[in-house]
Amino acid sequence: MWQQKLRENFRDLTQLLDYLEIENRTPFTNTSFPLNLPRRLAEKIEKNNLHDPLLRQFLPLTEEHKTLPGFTLDPVSDCTFQKTPTLLQKYKSRALLITTGACPMHCRYCFRQNYDYQKAEWEEELAHIQNDPTLIEIILSGGDPLSLSDRRLKELFEKLENIPHLQIVRFHTRFPIGIPERITPEFIDLIQNTRLQTIFIVHTNHPKELDPDVLASLKILPCPVLTQSVLLKGVNDNLSILKELFLKLISNGIIPYYLHQLDRVQGAGHFEVPKEHGLKLIQALRENLPGYAVPRYVQELPGEKSKTAVNQRLK
């Protein structure tokens, strides 16, 4: 059961450092955005290796306390685009529902780590969606929408199905990467038996995240599966890792959708990769992989009408 797996997550830094046989503890610290890591991911971290790409994504480093110019609490201006406390709309035709603040894992560079999550029954949100016929798609985000039980998701789907102008429900999730058991028969049933088209977008940054169980859970989804990744220093900022990641995805029928330039959230400065380097990587990927295996390299610029392609001009 996925709920049981979730309860077994590492949440105590000392316990995890013991488990990883890390002797030098000075690089690590507790922070207000607490450690939260599924066992499956912890098991993949190489023992006593401070440079492990999974360790870097999930273990809080003292570097997070550094404040840097340009790095803020709400780098993408979520707050400015709230239609209601849990419905964000930045772009035409699609809006994003913050379904929950809960996540199966805490990624240190998360741009929404300071978001003021409100518990909601989505009444106000659903009324807003109902009253806006230009909306064709609702993105379920968070937090992680798969933190909700299948029963709650079903209730939400039933309400969305009743809004005639809606055609698509999109999941933005990282859940199966840590706990693939989350893709339950009930969940499959839900997306198979709705008039709404489901699109599944998984957040994954490194080929080590994709073991046979994780890939098998994504393979049984009866809908298109795409991915988004964040370009992260010390995690995936080199050609061979990105090539391996995207090849592994396409050879399992999964399409890389976005590669995001880091959103400049406070405490994540040590993850930033210069755009010049990102552009070089993308160019090299284009030369090495089929076109459909190379994601769009984008950044989120508050106030723009869509995600913005990173290009020479934006250096």
For the bound state, the minimum distance from the C-beta of residue 170 to ligand PLP, rounded and expressed in Å, comes to 8
* CB count in 10 Å sphere of residue 298: 17
Residues in contact with ligand PLP, counted by CB under 6 A, come to a total of 9
Residue number, 22 or 88, with CB nearest to ligand PLP:
88
Of 54, 96, 230, 273, the one binding ligand PLP (CB under 6 A) is 96
Task: Indicate whether 307 belongs to the interface with ligand PLP (CB under 6 A).
Answer: yes
Complex with ligand PLP: residue 39 or 307, whichever CB lies closer? 307
Cβ neighbours of residue 134 under 8 Å, at least 6 residues apart?
Answer: 92, 93, 165
Q: Which of 3, 118, 306, 308 binds ligand PLP (CB under 6 A)?
A: 306
Contact 148/179 with Cβ under 8 angstroms?
no
Residues 119-148 that bind ligand PLP (CB under 6 A): 139
To ligand PLP, the closest distance from the beta carbon of 215 in angstroms equals 23
C-alpha–C-alpha distance, residues 8 and 112, integer Å: 24
Task: Let me know how long the chain is.
Answer: 315
The footprint of ligand PLP on residues 27-66 (CB under 6 A) is: none
Among all chains, which residue has been given the structure tokens 């299948």? 150
Task: Compute the least distance from the CB of residue 244 to ligand SF4, in Å.
Answer: 21
* Contact of residue 143 among ligand SF4, ligand PLP, none (CB under 5-8 Å per partner type): ligand SF4
Q: Which is nearer to ligand PLP, 31 or 77 (CB)?
A: 77
Q: Least distance in Å: CB of 99 to ligand SF4?
A: 11
Least distance to ligand PLP, CB of residue 96, Å: 4
Please choose, out of 1-9, 85-93, 184-192, 266-274, the segment that lies near ligand PLP by the rule CB under 6 A: 85-93
Nearer to ligand PLP, 96 or 254 (CB): 96
Of 33, 91, 194, 252, the one binding ligand PLP by CB under 6 A: 91
Binding site for ligand SF4 (CB under 6 A): 103, 105-107, 110, 112, 142-144, 174, 203
267: burial class by Cβ within 10 Å (0-12, 13-18, 19+)? buried
**Among ligand SF4, ligand PLP, none, what binds residue 306 when CB lies within 5 to 8 Å by partner kind?**
ligand PLP
Residue type at 261 in one-letter notation: Q
One-letter identity of residue 185: P
Among 44, 83, 94, 270, the residue binding ligand PLP under the rule CB under 6 A is 94
Please give the structure tokens belonging to residue 215: 């890939």
- What are the b/e assignments for 191-207, b being 16+ CB within 10 Å? beeeebebbbbbbbbbb
Among 6, 41, 87, 88, binds ligand PLP (CB under 6 A): 88
| Residues that bind ligand PLP in the complex, under the rule CB under 6 A | 88, 90-91, 94, 96, 139, 300, 306-307
